[in-house]
Amino acid sequence: MAQKCSLKNVQIGLDMGTTSAITEAKRYFGYFALVSNQTMDTFTALENYRLREKIEELFAVQKGRLDGARPRTWYPDNLRGRQFTQFISLGYHCFLMKKIKEVQAKFGKNESGKTKSLIKLEKKLGNWLAQRSLAQILDWFDCIETTKVQTAMGSYRWSTESVARDRLFLKYLGVVTE
């Protein structure tokens, strides 16, 4: 038994005898609604919802048997503290990923006042961000140190390498207001 549907001169033939998998999947079709206190488009809301699912999955792994053994704590308060710290860090992870995506959305927009060198620097920053994970980005900024030495002969202060790309990234994140 073959059924045909037409949509503006396009015909699709479907043999209904071999679609048991499709009919099985159709049983579970449904609708869902996401309620939020922010206005956002459909795909952003769905992405945020899936991030929440990722957080819950990580919690389930931590709460369960992560390495085949129970969590190594002596007291329940220590376990609750560890889980609370994990919750806070996952919140920061999601927040930072959202901010990085906002920064990446700024790239390529021709706003008045952008110089050619700034556009070139944004392109370098965009390529750099696309090639690295969040852990690699945080590791990169972890190694920047400021050292201050005071002696009777004078005072010296220096920082490890901080390139223009890094300063632009921190400025767009709102960390540096220069």
Q: What is the pLDDT of residues 121-154, one digit of tens each?
A: 888 999 999 998 888 888 887 766 667 777 777 7
130 and 173 assigned to the same domain: yes
3-state secondary structure of 139: helix
Tokens of 107: 């790239």
Per-residue model confidence (pLDDT) at position 131: 92
Among the candidates 79, 106, 133, a domain finishes at 106
Answer for the pair 172, 103: CB distance below 8 angstroms, yes or no: yes
Identify the domain boundary among 106, 129, 163: 106
Query: CA–CA separation, 73 vs 79, rounded Å?
Result: 6
pLDDT exceeds cutoff 50 at 6: no
> Are residues 95 and 137 located together in one domain of the fold?
no
Residue 126 DSSP label? H
- 62 has pLDDT over 70: no
The DSSP letter of residue 9 is: S
- Full-prediction pTM beyond 0.75? no
* Same domain assignment for residues 125 and 164: yes
